[in-house]
Chain A
Amino acid sequence: MSTPPYAVGTSLDGAGDAPGAWRLAAASDLTAFDGRPARDAAVLAESAGLVFATLDDALALQPDEPGRVRGRLDALATACWLGPQTSRIGLLPTVTLTHTEPFHVSTATATLDLVSEGRAGVVVDVSTDAASAAAIGRRAPAPADVVWGQAEDVVEAVARLWDSWEDDAEVRDVATSRFVDRERLHYVDAPVRTGDPAPDGLTGAFTVRGPSIVPRTPQGRPVVAVRLPAGERPGSARWRASALRADLVLLGGSDLAGTQDPARLVRAGAEGRELRVLASLRVVLGDDDDHARRRAQELDALGTDDAPVFVGTAEALAAELVRTSTTAGGWLDGVELRPAVLADDLPRIARDLAPRLAAAGLLTDAPPGSTPPGSTLRSRLGLPRPASRYARAEVPA
Chain B
Amino acid sequence: MASISEMYVSELLGNPVIDPTGERVGKVTDIGINDVQPYPAVTFLAIRRGKETYYLDFRFVNLANRQIFAVSKKVKNLPLEKTEPRVVWLKENILDKQIFDMMGSKVVRVNDIKLAYLEGVVRAVAVDISFLGILRRLRLAGFFSRLAALFDKKLREELIAWEYIKSIHKDTAGLQLSVTQESLKDLHPSDLAEILSQLNYRDSGNLLRTLDDEMVAEALGEMDADFSAALLENLDDERVSEILDEMSADDITDFLKDLPEYRRARFLALLDREDKEEVEDLLKYDDETAGGLMTTEMITLREEMTAQETIEHLRQVAPEAETIYYLYVVNNEEKLVGVVSLRDLIVAPPDTPIRDIMHRKVIRVTDDMNAARVADVIAKYNLLAVPVVDAEGHLLGIITVDDIIDTLYKHQRRH
Q: Do A and B come from the same complex?
A: no
Residue ranges of B at the interface with A (Cβ–Cβ < 8 Å): none
**Partner-B contacts on A (CB < 8 A):** none
